[in-house]
Amino acid sequence: MKIGPSRIAHPITLAPMEEHTNYPFRLLMKQFGASLVCTERIDAADVACRDRRALRLLHTTTQESPRAGQISGADPAVMARAARVVEEHGFDVVDLNFECPIRRLVNRGEGGALLGNPPAVASIVAAVVNAVSIPVTLKIRSGPDAEHETASEVARLAEEAGAAAVDVHARSVAQAYVGGPDWSVVTRVKQAVRVPVLGSGGIREPGDAIRFLKETGADGVAIGRGCLGNPWIFQQARSLVQGGAIVRAPTSAERGRVLLQLVEGEFRLYGPGPAQRRLARTSCYFAKFVPEFSVFREAVHKVRDLTGFRRLVKEHFG
Ligand SMILES: Cc1cc2nc3c(=O)[nH]c(=O)nc-3n(C[C@H](O)[C@H](O)[C@H](O)COP(=O)(O)O)c2cc1C
């Protein structure tokens, strides 16, 4: 698949996830075989005014190429300014978020709220396409709710406005993250546009990714919650999609080593204080595979530094 000039090596990609898909996490998923990675959603207004936190979320290097930077907002001029900042940081793609179900955003008419107004999405896409030279993609859902499926119309208008690919989360905004995804909406979007279509929703096992590609006809699949604590899913799904052998599950010691790599990356990126406050969130997804998970979870809250964390990992992961 190609998104603008960027060649995406295979269809197994990483879905953007707020509070998770930071630079160290993306590097790790890339190392395990994700073909395309994406930042979490960042407010365009913050990016446009170069807010410090927003710029830190835009930290990237060519090591994770090809990669997308994702912004959200409703004002075409602000989105265009923010997209220029994303391009300046070196991202290969700028991704526009029209999918976020968070009430604060939806009440401001941003994120998923825009799926109720396809022409407004097209105006934003057109303004951003005009402002940058990298490809512009969009992340959408099926529509505002089960009764209003706007995904195909949004995708068609966005394509006319110059979008280079569409990524569909196969749930409605009203559904948020609850309930099964309906993959058939991805097939309908695929039939509505010529640009590449990717999709996500409910990929928990490597085999789900293959089934998703087969059933929907999509060009790519994005793995969300299924990779939290389990980057091996990329290796396994990639091998399946390329007709390779089944990749064996990692040993406990391997899980511990990879968790440490991620946490050390977060200490480097955020500094000890903020990285430590993230420790429980980052490590519990990996630790759910250890026999004494509840003991680990209690102990991780008491860890005071990286040395203490290394000791804890050694104790529980071997
Ligand atoms: C914790 C969390 C945060 C998310 N943050 C974002 C985000 O910042 N931008 C975005 O486009 N999608 C976001 N998503 C949606 C995912 O990219 C993806 O579409 C969805 O999780 C797919 O479903 P699955 O987790 O069931 O596989 C988020 C999902 C979760 C679970």
* Residue 314: predicted pLDDT: 96
Residue 103 has a CB neighbour count (10 Å cut-off) of: 11
Strand partners, 95: 70, 137
Centre of ligand 1 from the C-alpha of residue 1, in Å: 22
Cα-Cα-Cα-Cα torsion 12, 16, 21, 26, nearest 10 degrees, comes to: 30
**Which DSSP string corresponds to 67-96?**
EEEEEE-S-HHHHHHHHHHHHHTT-SEEEE
Q: Which residue minimizes the CA distance to atom 30 of ligand 1?
A: 17
Going residue by residue through the chain (318 aa), what tens digit of pLDDT does each one get?
999 999 999 999 999 999 999 999 999 999 999 999 999 999 999 999 999 999 999 999 999 999 999 999 999 999 999 999 999 999 999 999 999 999 999 999 999 999 999 999 999 999 999 999 999 999 999 999 999 999 999 999 999 999 999 999 999 999 999 998 999 999 999 999 999 999 999 999 999 999 999 999 999 999 999 999 999 999 999 999 998 888 888 999 999 999 999 999 999 999 999 999 999 999 999 998 888 999 999 999 999 999 999 999 999 998
Q: Are 192 and 164 in contact (CB under 8 A)?
A: no
pTM > 0.85: yes or no:
yes
* Residue 246: predicted pLDDT: 80
Assess whether 284 carries a catalytic annotation.
no
Sole residue written with tokens 């509070």: 19
Q: Which residue minimizes the CA distance to atom 28 of ligand 1?
A: 17
Structure tokens at 159: 């394509």
Structure letter (DSSP) for residue 176: T
- Alpha-carbon gap, residue 311 to 54, rounded angstroms: 33
* Residue 168: predicted pLDDT: 98
Mutation test residue for ligand 1: of 13, 17, 20, the one with most atoms within 8 Å of CB: 17
Q: Beta 197-200 vs 2-3: how paired, if at all?
A: unpaired
Q: Which residue minimizes the CA distance to atom 4 of ligand 1?
A: 17
Q: Are 43 and 84 in contact (CB under 8 A)?
A: no
- Alpha-carbon gap, residue 181 to 169, rounded angstroms: 8
